[in-house]
Amino acid sequence: MLFAVDVGNSHTVSGIFEKGRLTGDWRLQSRRDRTADELAIRYHGLFQMAGIDPNRITGFIVASVVPVLETSWLNFARSYLTKLRQPPLAVTHTLKLGMEVATENPSEVGADRLVNAVAAWERYHVPLIVIDFGTAITFDCVNSVPAYVGGTIHPGIGISLDALATRTAKLPRLDIDVTPEHPIGTTTEKAIHSGMLYGFGGLIDRMVEVLSRQLTPDQDRARTIATGGMAELIKPYTYTIDEIDPQLTLTGLEWIYRLNCAGKND
């Protein structure tokens, strides 16, 4: 079994793979003060509820954009996953990825962005754009070489809602939980809902358009795959998202582990 972990700024998504198949997954808040011992307590309970024997976990890989939590996760794996067949693996640009990282400073590219690019390329083997709706919204581009060539980073929906509430005197903090009846909002709440959903939908379509001009100048646009917690929410307001895969990052982690540790886990 392989235990794969994607640590984001807001949430941590983890999963168990057995013979290449995802058999269990969890989504929890990313607490920066979480220690290795606390992770052990939390996941002991989750494993038990899912009927997973941690002694069958022979591989571990983590992709983290929170350095302190990456350390906690690696310490957890070293201390509590006693049947690992090799030291726990953390994703960096120096691993075998199946593609070149063709950016000016490969070391600064977020691990999750590399993992998503790898997973999407392995699925399609065509130039593509990956959109990840997390704390930030990221667009990541892979060309036909294949090479990860960079992308763009934007404030996420949650950040934008927080900014409206904290930086204005009269606008409330809202959750986006309803579909606007019309683009023109007739109340403050409806105006915020419409602005977020139609606005971010427009952002997605515009960015796919301009990135495709550079990435695939001989096509109308590049193939686009989306992931992240807000992807399903925004998709009805765009026309450029071809597919949504909530488990894209976990799938990429499993692929990278196999690429670097062939034969090291069942």
13-49 pLDDT tens trace: 999 999 999 999 999 999 999 999 999 999 999 999 9
pLDDT class of 263 with cuts at 50, 70, 90: low
Domains of the chain in sequence order: 2-90 (3.30.420.40), 100-250 (3.30.420.40)
Six-digit token string for 198? 């139609």
pLDDT confidence of residue 104: 97
Annotated binding site for substrate: 110-113, 188
- What DSSP line would sit under 20-70, residue for residue? TEEEEEEEEE--TT--HHHHHHHHHHHHHHHT--GGG--EEEEEES-HHHH
Annotated binding site for K(+): 132
pLDDT confidence of residue 264: 53
Task: List pLDDT tens digits, range 65-81.
Answer: 999 999 999 999 999 99
Task: List pLDDT tens digits, range 133-191.
Answer: 999 999 999 999 999 999 999 999 989 989 988 888 878 877 777 778 899 999 998 99
Annotated binding site: 6-13, 110-113, 132, 135, 188
| Whole-number percent of the chain with pLDDT over 90 | 85
Q: What is the mean pLDDT of residues 87-112?
A: 97
Burial class from Cβ neighbours inside 10 Å (0-12, 13-18, 19+) for residue 172 reads: exposed
Model pTM? 0.93
> Can 245 be counted among the known catalytic residues?
no
Six-digit token string for 73? 């996760």
SS3 state of residue 151:
strand
pLDDT confidence of residue 93: 96
Identified catalytic residue from 53, 112, 140, 175: 112
Q: What is the mean pLDDT of residues 201-212?
A: 97
pLDDT class of 125 with cuts at 50, 70, 90: very high
Annotated binding site for ATP: 6-13, 135
